[in-house]
């Protein structure tokens, strides 16, 4: 009974957000129900239809709620903790990211990969942290932060987007996309989208941070993502991650912004969607 009441309340709240334009493009009264949306209420219907992987950490750390990829979630050390939408995951200090293996995601097809994260200690001038890497058989696409040090003569935490080691495609070592100094505690969202067989966009908190097009050739048959890494990994600033998503389409900038706004407002309203 309580679950049914909560579900009805959530639907009303989602539709109120839609009326405010928060979920514009995601939620329409005439859209049919979707099983993933019914069970995992932080997934707006327009996103839920495209979800191929979803992990909220409301189950075991190696057990996602939705896995249509047949992903192998590598065991990692850390702990499940209260987070943005119920539970999240804090890897052990210096521990590796949440790693998905055994994938078969061609970069010729549209993809979106996203996660929510918070920093659990204050940043320093030499701090860095990893967010998302897509690793193909040859080559990788990655978004991370590097701080002051010898690497590229950086002087403070800097947003980095790399597209590296794809034969015939010019390497991108994007360190010119600006400052990446974030405060400890608040939740942030990062998303990488692949589209048009060549275009890689990175969004932070719904805002476009980098937009790079492959030079030399388009992605081809051999450019297939075999693994995805999300979270601290080799740049181990302490952080907690939540709401890991992989979609089989590339969200537009407006869709990313609407999703970020909607989840933020739902979390602020105190909806705990554990089942």
- Domains belonging to the chain, first-starting first, are 52-250 (2.60.120.200)
Residues 4/235, Cβ–Cβ less than 8 Å: no
CA angle at 102 for the pair 96 and 107, rounded to the nearest 5°:
95
Q: What is the pLDDT, as a whole number, of residue 177?
A: 92
CA distance 229 to 14: 31
Residue in 238, 242, 241 with CA at minimum distance from that of residue 93: 238
b/e for 138-177, b at 16 or more Cβ within 10 A? Answer: ebbbbbbbbbbeeeeebeebbbbbbbeebeebeebebbeb
Strands (E) located in the chain: 51-55, 66-67, 72-73, 78-83, 86-91, 98-101, 105-106, 111-119, 129-136, 140-146, 158-164, 172-174, 188-195, 199-204, 207-213, 224-230, 239-247
CA distance 235 to 97: 9
Q: What is the pLDDT, as a whole number, of residue 269?
A: 86
CA angle at 121 for the pair 120 and 126, rounded to the nearest 5°:
130
**pTM for the full model?**
0.86
How confident is the prediction along the chain (275 residues), in pLDDT tens digits per residue? 444 445 555 555 555 454 444 444 333 333 333 456 556 667 777 788 899 999 999 887 889 999 999 999 998 889 999 999 889 999 988 777 899 999 999 999 999 999 999 999 999 999 999 999 999 999 999 999 999 998 889 999 999 999 999 999 999 999 989 999 999 999 999 999 999 999 999 999 999 999 999 999 999 999 999 999 999 877 779 999 999 999 999 999 999 999 999 999 988 887 765 43
Residues 241/116, Cβ–Cβ less than 8 Å: yes
Q: What is the pLDDT, as a whole number, of residue 29?
A: 34
Tokens found for residue 152: 């590229």
- The CA dihedral of 73, 74, 76, 78, to the nearest 10 degrees, is 0
How big is the chain, counted in residues?
275
CA distance 90 to 249: 28
Q: What is the pLDDT, as a whole number, of residue 4?
A: 47
Which residues are registered as beta bridge partners of 193? 112, 201
SS percent in the chain: helix, strand, coil, step 5: 15, 35, 45
Residue in 198, 163, 189, 197 with CA at minimum distance from that of residue 253: 189
Q: What is the pLDDT, as a whole number, of residue 67?
A: 95
């Amino acid at each position: 009974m309580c679950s049914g009441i909560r579900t009805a309340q959530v639907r009303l709240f989602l539709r109120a957000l839609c009326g405010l334009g928060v979920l514009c493009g995601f939620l329409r009264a005439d859209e049919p129900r979707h099983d993933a949306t019914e069970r995992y209420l932080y997934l707006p219907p327009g996103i839920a239809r495209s979800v191929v992987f979803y992990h909220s950490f409301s189950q075991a750390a190696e057990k996602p709620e939705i896995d249509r990829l047949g992903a192998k979630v590598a065991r990692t050390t850390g702990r499940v903790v209260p987070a943005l939408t119920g539970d999240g995951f804090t890897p052990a200090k210096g521990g590796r990211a949440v790693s998905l293996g055994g994938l078969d995601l061609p970069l010729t097809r549209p993809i979106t990969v996203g996660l929510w994260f918070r920093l659990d200690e204050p940043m320093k001038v030499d701090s860095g942290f990893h967010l998302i890497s897509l690793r193909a058989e040859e080559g990788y696409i990655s978004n991370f932060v590097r701080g002051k040090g010898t690497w590229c003569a950086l002087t403070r935490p800097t947003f980095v987007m790399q597209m590296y080691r794809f034969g015939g495609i010019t390497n991108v070592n994007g360190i010119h996309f600006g400052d990446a100094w974030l405060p400890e505690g608040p939740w942030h969202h990062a998303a990488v989208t692949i589209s048009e067989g060549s275009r890689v966009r990175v969004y932070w908190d719904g805002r476009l941070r980098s937009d790079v097009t492959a030079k030399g050739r388009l992605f081809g048959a051999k450019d297939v993502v075999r693994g995805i890494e999300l979270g601290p990994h080799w740049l181990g600033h302490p952080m907690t991650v939540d709401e890991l998503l992989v979609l089989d389409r590339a969200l537009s900038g407006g869709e990313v912004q609407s999703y970020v706004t909607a989840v933020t407002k739902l979390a602020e309203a105190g909806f705990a969607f554990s089942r």
